[in-house]
Structure 1
Amino acid sequence: MSHSADLTWLLIKDNNSFLVKRNGVQFSSEANNLLNKNSFKFSGLANNKTIGIQAAASGRGIVVSTKKTNVPAFKPSKAINKVTITKGTRKAAAAVAASTARAGYRADLRKAALARVSAVLRAQKPVKAHAKKAGKGVRAN
């Protein structure tokens, strides 16, 4: 028995364990929610097709998870397909765009997925140490 995505959203939109309300704004900490917004479009729980992008456990690369649609609702662990991508930034972005968004899976999430890929990979880069500039003037010494 499959449930409608709209019915699921009506049941979970106001109250669920992933809902975070701060300063009049609602966020969601659920898996496969690209922007962490509490909205039907980005909901990883309500939608039948979702895209999730997280940092890889090794600290290098990303893990792209998608939801399979032909798995029964009572087997949620088998419904998630995870792929690790350890290529460079451009190749990872191209792979995400080609495999999930352009292939007719969820084209409306393409921009958000690419933004998430960029943010995760940028956070994994080491911070460059800049040399401190020598001060000028009498007070600098």
Structure 2
Amino acid sequence: MSADLTWLLIKNNNSFLVKRNGVQFSSEAGNLLNKNSFKYSGLANKKTVDITAAPSGRGVVVATKKAKVSAYKPAKTITKVTLTKGIRKSARSVAGLTRNGYRADLRQAALARVSALLNSQKPVKAAPKKTGKGIRAAKKN
């Protein structure tokens, strides 16, 4: 089935569609910005890029969908790679993947997703205890 026909069938009604306050979002795999549009759809497009947090809590998993694979083997359409080397190396890998002819239009969205996921996995630094200044602070000690 063509990508355009698939999009016409699923754009208004599917199980991943979230409609709130006049805005439509989509929670499907392969949708980098979670927008309900043909460009970002992981269901309608033949080639997709999906970036999720690694199950171990360290790194990201980059999954790509191959365009031409037998319809009898849907599990073999998705290739997953775990990137754990840090923000710069992970971003470079994702940029290279999207730049080399595989959904170059999604490069900015993919880099933003990688950066957000890896920054959310950083440990939270404890705030230093504030010391009071002046006469009253000296009296409390």
TM-score, structure 1 as length reference: 0.91
Q: What is the match of residue 129 of structure 2? A: 132
User: Amino acid of the residue matched to residue 17 of structure 2?
Assistant: L
Select 2:110's aligned residue among 110, 113, 128. 113
Secondary structure of the 1:21 match is strand
User: Amino acid of the residue matched to residue 36 of structure 1?
Assistant: N
**CA RMSD of superposed structures (Å):** 1.6
Select 2:100's aligned residue among 97, 100, 103. 103
TM-score, structure 2 as length reference: 0.91
Select 1:41's aligned residue among 30, 39, 42. 39
User: Amino acid of the residue matched to residue 111 of structure 1?
Assistant: Q
Q: Which has the larger radius of gyration?
A: 2
List gaps (5 residues or longer) in structure 1. Answer: none
Q: Take 2:101 and 2:94, find their aligned partners in 1: how far apart are those partners?
A: 12
Q: What is the match of residue 29 of structure 2? A: 31
What is the identity percentage for the equivalent residue pairs of Structure 1 and Structure 2?
A: 74
Secondary structure of the 1:131 match is coil
Greater displacement, 65-74 / 21-30:
65-74
CA apart distance, 1:84:
0.6
Q: Is 1:89 paired with 2:87? A: yes
List gaps (5 residues or longer) in structure 2. Answer: none
